[in-house]
Structure 1
Amino acid sequence: MEFGEKIKELRTKNQLTQEKFAIRLNVTRQAVSNWENNRNLPDLEMLILISSIFHISLDELILGGSNVNNMTEKLIKDGSETRRAKLTMVTTLIGAFLLFFGFACFFIKANSVEYIDAIGILHENFYLIPIGFLFIFAGMMVFIFTGIRFIIAFVAHRK
């Protein structure tokens, strides 16, 4: 049974009009109508309120039995999109930090003092150059792979 059918069945079984049901949920009658006609779906907070009004579990309300319905698909999709957004944010931050540290290595190298001691040994921070390049390369790779993943997800979402 689809989510809209389930809401309508519960509402009519409890002898509530769309208007009365909307007032109890503090939404418009049109919102209830959209839910019942599967044009729109309520958010998680609203689902909790609906389940408490009808005294049914969220499992029964969302799953509507043993079949997966459109509400279940929406919750699964929202969860995967949230995880993808968090992963993208974390990888972008990692890439930014890598780039920052790479440029910081070059800045430190440019401003460090190089000298020859009394024995004739040159003292310089030569190791900062390859380390800086390594950080910049790693940061760019993180940005490129994150961008490719974003484009692939965007194209897949549009289909």
Structure 2
Amino acid sequence: MTFAESLKKLRHDNSLTQSELAEKLYISRQSISKWELNKSYPDIDKLILLSKIFDISIDELLGQDKLLRKDIIMKSTLYRKSISILKYLGLLVATILLFLGLNFWSNQLDDLHIQDVKIYNTFFAMENGKPTFYLYGKLKPTFASYSGGAFTQYNNSNGSVYGYNINKNNVTIDGQQTHSPFGSKEVVFRIKSDPKHGLTLLNQNIYLIGKHNHKIKIYNAHTKTQPYSINQKDTQKFIKQNKLH
């Protein structure tokens, strides 16, 4: 007995019209008619529903219909493959979104982490007749403190990326960095004296300031010393050489 014959017999045995059976399956009457005329086959989910309606196993419902059995096997295999592909695609999309999210976060500017900075050298140099202060350092590669690229472009008008704050006795340099492990590790600060705007440098303590207002003194105006300098720990020589008393 084919599936079409089995379905028609089960429907008659349960006193159901094609319309009534179609209503239970949430499909059109024409679909039932095509099944019973052997013009098409139901999907797997409809076969499961039919087995429940008639209270028989799918195996009994299929009878000796080899074509339908083959069709179901193919659809089941295709279904499983489709689910696997969708899972992998979902995992791929999630991975891409995670990467983009981490990349966006890691490139956000943050206040410089002072504990990340290893200062190699500081010194004064004359540029166009004015003392200019330089700081060279590197961000230590430690994940715990979010090492990243230090951005050191200078903008005197608005202090963007890094700037400074001035009062009579002190200059504080504000640094910024990213969380990206792929960014530049180099830390380079350059500040040129500007007496008209209260920036004398040699007569002001210079601090590097970072996150949570942590700061380190890199030039002591009272003793004229630079603790991190290689050749100018005592800055008096530079002052005398350039007649900057």
Q: Which residue of 2 aligns with 1:112?
A: 111
1-structure distance, mates of 2:65, 2:40? 23
Deviations 1:32-59 (CA, angstroms, capped at 9, x unpaired):
1333435353351x32221133332124
Tell me by how many angstroms 1:25 deviates. Answer: 4.2
Aligned length: 123
1:49 aligned onto 2:49: yes
Write the mapping of 1:5-154 to structure 2, written as runs, cut at 5 A: 5-6=2-3, 8-14=4-10, 16=12, 20-26=17-23, 27-36=27-36, 37-39=38-40, 41-44=42-45, 46-61=46-61, 64=63, 68-107=69-108, 110-113=109-112, 122=137, 124=139, 125-126=147-148, 128-131=179-182
2-structure distance, mates of 1:40, 1:122? 75
1-structure distance, mates of 2:52, 2:118? 80
1-structure distance, mates of 2:60, 2:107? 60
Task: Give the % identical residues.
Answer: 22
2-structure distance, mates of 1:53, 1:118? 80
1-structure distance, mates of 2:182, 2:60? 57
Deviations 1:74-129 (CA, angstroms, capped at 9, x unpaired):
1221221122112101111112101221232122xx33316568996846323744
Whether contact under 8 Å (2:19, 2:29) holds in the other structure is: yes
2-structure distance, mates of 1:123, 1:114? 12
Give the TM-score taking structure 1 as reference length: 0.56
Give the TM-score taking structure 2 as reference length: 0.39
Root-mean-square deviation (Å)? 3.6
Deviations 1:55-82 (CA, angstroms, capped at 9, x unpaired):
32124446x5695421222122122112
SS at match of 1:56: coil
Deviations 1:109-157 (CA, angstroms, capped at 9, x unpaired):
x33316568996846323744447xxxxxxxxxxxxxxxxxxxxxxxxx
| Structure 2: gaps spanning 5 or more residues | 122-135, 140-146, 150-178, 184-245
Q: 1:126 to 1:24 in 2, by over 3 A?
A: closer
Whether contact under 8 Å (1:25, 1:50) holds in the other structure is: no
**Larger relative strand fraction:** 2
2-structure distance, mates of 1:112, 1:66? 73
**Larger relative helix fraction:** 1
The one-letter code matched in structure 2 to 1:104 is W
Asked which structure has the greater CA Rg, the reply is: 2
The one-letter code matched in structure 2 to 1:24 is L
2-structure distance, mates of 1:61, 1:74? 17
